[in-house]
């Protein structure tokens, strides 16, 4: 486009101006008409617009001395504009390519995730990571954790928030007032997220409470050396994928994802959702469940036996709770209470434009087995096969309805959903 315009200019100076003027005259026939109307309608105004395209007739008969200047100027501006635009585009493309190459040297590869229109997704060490995590990878690797730190780690949508609130209360001598006075994300920050950011987290006093969705293999190197306490929470993959689907849609302003459930299900199955593969995430912690600094929990156990699971967590943290304290925790951390508590329900997502309130809530249903309302028989078989295959050498099992059982192939979805 820019070259064509420049060509027109060269033509202008070399050939008869009238030839070009005739060319414009044809193209601007409509402009001429409009110009005439404009002249009659806005006569007093016209004198001010001496250089306007509207108050000239671009015809072969017009030989006004100003005519070529106006046209030349217009063409010049258009040329400069095109060059500038082209230049910016070129620089943007070059910078993008450069960033891509730099990431590739570090083993980070950009991915195409169908439906994820806004959020950039990458593969690093076979893990799917969103752009905001990739930007922090170097700082994450270098982050110094201490033996006093307490971590909650999970694959997204596995009950992290629930467990975080329980741990916060256990650690603060069940101070519910303090818990209600600040957002959970401030009290118990998400390591790899932009806010508050690693620099701020580093300044927090010990013992720090930290949340991460990273698999064990991508946690900071210091985790292996300093062995902080890590409480891992896993959830059955069927409920994870349903909860995750609604979550990614909720974050529409960030993800621009509005695909159907079956499409998201396929992304999950093909390890294309953030922090996937799910099975590897779980396996890495399951294999370390006997380590002194690791406690492995499940969402389904926390749901079925909240009391007993709180005891386990307290014991792991070296705390003893009275019956009364436990009751306060159970009540404060019930689904209904956490859903209406602004410090835990992530309503700030909406305030900061991260979530689209029309698409639902962060705290959705909080139950075991909602997958049966979304899965087809085929999906159910696919997940069962995936779990069976990936964990073929493992003794792990998942509860899909609140009780553990090895396989639910024998029951139909309708039976399970009841
Ligand atoms: S996130 O975004 O990854 O941190 O989400 P996460 O907190 O891991 O998981 C969100 C799901 O946990 C449910 N939840 C609860 N269930 C029962 N009781 C309580 N108190 C509770 N708090 C959170 C939440 O509703 C999400 O599950 P779904 O199935 O979508 O409702």
- Ligand 1, atom 19: closest residue by C-alpha: 335
Which residue among 169, 179, 243 is best mutated to probe the pocket of ligand 1, counting the most ligand atoms within 8 A of its Cβ? 243
Residue 17 has pLDDT above 90, yes or no: no
Which residue among 363, 365, 369, 371 is best mutated to probe the pocket of ligand 1, counting the most ligand atoms within 8 A of its Cβ? 363
Q: Report phi then psi at 188, rounded to 5.
A: -140, 70
From 8, 23, 42, 213, active-site residue: 213
Which residue would you say has higher pLDDT here, 315 or 98? 315
pLDDT band at 158 (very low <50, low <70, confident <90, very high): very high
Q: What is the mean pLDDT of residues 92-115?
A: 92
Residue 26 has pLDDT above 90, yes or no: no
pTM, two decimal places:
0.80
User: What digits encode the pLDDT tens for the residues 48-98?
Assistant: 444 444 444 444 444 455 566 888 889 999 999 999 999 999 999 999 889
Indicate if 213 belongs to the active site: yes
Nearest-CA neighbor of 299 among 317, 315, 316, 282? Answer: 282
- Ligand 1, atom 3: closest residue by C-alpha: 156
247, 157 Cβ separation under 8 angstroms: yes
* Residue 378: alpha-carbon gap to chain centroid: 28
Predicted confidence at residue 71, as pLDDT, reads 85
310, 167 Cβ separation under 8 angstroms: no
Scanning the structure block, which residue is given the tokens 């962060």? 362
3-state secondary structure of 131: helix
- Ligand 1, atom 14: closest residue by C-alpha: 366
CA distance 17 to 418: 84
Nearest-CA neighbor of 339 among 360, 303, 363, 361? Answer: 363
Scanning the structure block, which residue is given the tokens 């209600």? 180
User: What digits encode the pLDDT tens for the residues 351-406?
Assistant: 888 999 889 999 999 999 999 999 999 999 999 999 999 999 999 999 998 644 44
3-state secondary structure of 12: helix
How far away, in angstroms, is 235 Cα from ligand 1 center?
10
**What's the chain's average pLDDT?**
86
CA distance 239 to 300: 10
For residue 76, give every residue at least 6 positions away whose Cβ sits within 8 Å of its Cβ, in sequence order, or none: 9
- Pocket residues for ligand 1 (CB within 6 Å)? 154, 156-162, 239, 243, 246-247, 333, 335, 338, 363-366, 370
CA distance 154 to 179: 21
pLDDT band at 100 (very low <50, low <70, confident <90, very high): confident
Predicted confidence at residue 18, as pLDDT, reads 41
Q: What is the mean pLDDT of residues 10-22?
A: 45
CA distance 136 to 111: 18
């Amino acid at each position: 486009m820019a070259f064509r315009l420049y060509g027109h200019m060269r033509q202008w100076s070399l050939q008869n101006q009238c030839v070009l003027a005739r060319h414009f005259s044809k193209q601007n026939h409509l402009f001429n008409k409009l110009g005439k109307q404009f002249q009659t309608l806005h006569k007093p105004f016209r004198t001010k617009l001496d250089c306007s395209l509207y108050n000239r007739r671009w015809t072969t008969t017009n030989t006004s001395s100003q005519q070529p200047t106006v046209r030349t100027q217009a063409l010049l501006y258009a040329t400069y504009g095109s060059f500038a635009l082209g230049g910016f585009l070129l620089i943007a493309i070059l910078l993008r390519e450069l960033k891509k190459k730099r990431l590739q040297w570090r083993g980070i590869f950009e991915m195409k995730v169908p439906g994820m229109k806004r959020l950039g997704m990458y593969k690093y060490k076979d893990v799917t990571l969103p752009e905001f995590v990739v930007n922090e990878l170097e700082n994450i690797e270098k982050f110094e954790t201490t033996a006093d730190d307490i971590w909650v780690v999970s694959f997204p949508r596995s009950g992290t928030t629930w467990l975080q609130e329980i741990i916060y209360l256990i650690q603060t001598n069940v101070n519910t007032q303090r818990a209600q006075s600040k957002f959970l994300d401030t009290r118990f920050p998400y390591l790899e997220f932009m806010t508050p950011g690693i620099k701020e987290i580093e300044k927090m006093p010990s013992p720090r409470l930290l949340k991460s969705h990273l698999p064990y293999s991508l946690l900071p190197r210091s985790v292996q050396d300093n062995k902080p306490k890590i409480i891992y929470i896993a959830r059955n993959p069927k409920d994870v994928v349903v909860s995750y689907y609604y979550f990614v849609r909720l974050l529409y302003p960030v993800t621009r994802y509005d695909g159907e459930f079956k499409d998201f299900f396929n992304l999950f199955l093909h390890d294309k959702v953030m922090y996937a593969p799910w099975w590897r995430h779980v396996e890495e912690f399951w294999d370390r469940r006997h380590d002194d600094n690791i406690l492995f929990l499940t969402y389904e156990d926390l749901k079925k036996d909240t009391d007993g699971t709180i005891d386990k967590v307290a014991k792991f943290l070296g705390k003893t709770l009275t019956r009364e304290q436990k009751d306060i925790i159970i009540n404060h951390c019930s689904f209904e209470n956490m859903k209406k508590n602004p410090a835990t329900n992530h309503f700030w997502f909406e305030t900061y434009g991260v979530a689209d309130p029309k698409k639902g809530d962060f705290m959705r249903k909080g139950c075991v087995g909602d997958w049966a309302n979304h899965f087809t028989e085929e999906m159910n078989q696919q997940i069962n096969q995936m779990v069976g295959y990936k964990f073929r050498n493992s003794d792990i099992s998942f509860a899909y309805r609140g009780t553990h059982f090895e396989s639910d192939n024998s029951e139909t979805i309708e039976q399970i959903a009841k």
